[in-house]
Amino acid sequence: MALEQARALAAKESLNAGVTPGRSGPARLLDGGVEGNGRLTAVTGAILLVLLAVIGVTILRLHDLISVHLFVGMLLIGPVVVKLASTGYRFVRYYTFDPAYRQKGPPALPLRGLAPFVILSTLAVFASGVALLVVGPGSDGPLRFIHKASFFVWAAVTALHVVGHIPELSDLLSRSPRVARSNFSSTAGTGRLGRGIALAGGLVGGLVLALLLLPDFAAWVSAESAHHFGP
């Protein structure tokens, strides 16, 4: 009887944390539940902020730092995909009435209203950026305008998005010491392997893309140098 009560209590705690009860081994390592999803989103967001700060510096001196701008821009694509995937996963689980995600609740209404603009502007700025890189600096038509306009929209809505999520991020970070001290079998400690794989995969994927497109950087570097120093 005591064993059954303990199992029932463990299953209830797993449900509250969003971890599927009864899973063990490799499956449990990848199942971080609601809190694991939140941590993945928060850590990916922090990585994006650092890389975006680098992009911001390159924009101020684009003629001198065009190659850095292009490389970091391509590198960003990997973490951006991870961020969209983690938030999209929460969206799907919530609207398919998963009990743990329903218990956590959706983001605040203003953030939900902002989300489509964040997603659309993200897709626009990176799709136009990759297209510009491949087409080359001779493309002075709509692509360059779309890239610039979508970047400013994206920067504005992303800033609002980050500010709106600061309380949630602070709450997650404040619980980090307790999570670090928890044992490996606890629900707070599950999913670390999955989060690590997702983050590493995003960064490596972005790095591979940037390296593959390195040959296309040369035309842009030459064009910016000619524009800055004259023929």
Give the pLDDT confidence of 64-84 residue by residue, as tens digits: 899 999 999 999 999 999 999
Q: What is the pLDDT of residue 39?
A: 86
Is residue 184 a contact partner of residue 10, using CB atoms and an 8 Å limit? no
Q: Which two tokens stand for residue 159?
A: 């800033």
Residue 4 has pLDDT above 60, yes or no: no
Which pLDDT value is given to residue 139? 64
For residue 1, the SS3 value is: coil
Are 168 and 38 contacting, i.e. CB atoms less than 8 angstroms apart? yes
On whether the CB atoms of residues 37 and 18 are closer than 8 A, the answer is yes
Task: Give me the mean pLDDT over the 108-123 stretch.
Answer: 91
Distance CA 203, CA 211 (A): 12
Looking at per-residue pLDDT, the higher value among 105 and 171 belongs to: 105
pLDDT of 162 reads 83
Q: Which pLDDT score is estimated for 213? A: 93
The answer to whether 89 and 41 have CB atoms below 8 angstroms apart is no
Domain range list for the chain? 34-178+188-229
Supply the pLDDT for residue 226.
62
CA distance 125 to 146: 8
Per the confidence metrics, is the pTM higher than 0.85?
no
Give residue-wise pLDDT tens across range 32-58.
688 888 888 888 988 998 999 999 899
Q: For residue 112, which amino acid is it?
A: R
Q: What are phi and psi of 52, to 5 degrees?
A: -70, -30
pLDDT of residue 128: 92
pLDDT in tens, 124-182: 999 999 999 988 887 667 888 899 899 999 989 988 888 887 777 666 656 644 444 44
**For 20-24, 107-111, 112-116, 208-212, which range has the lowest pLDDT when averaged over its residues?**
20-24
Q: What is the dihedral of CA 9, 15, 17, 22, to 10 degrees?
A: 80
- Is 11's pLDDT higher than 90? no
pLDDT score at 75: 96
pLDDT at residue number 190: 62
What pLDDT was estimated at residue 179? 47
Backbone angles phi, psi at 159, to 5 degrees: -60, -45
Query: What's residue 174's pLDDT?
Result: 64
Confidence (pLDDT) at 192: 83
Q: Where are the alpha helices (DSSP H) in the chain?
A: 2-17, 26-29, 33-60, 62-95, 99-104, 109-135, 142-164, 166-174, 176-181, 192-212, 217-229
Q: Report pLDDT for 26.
A: 42
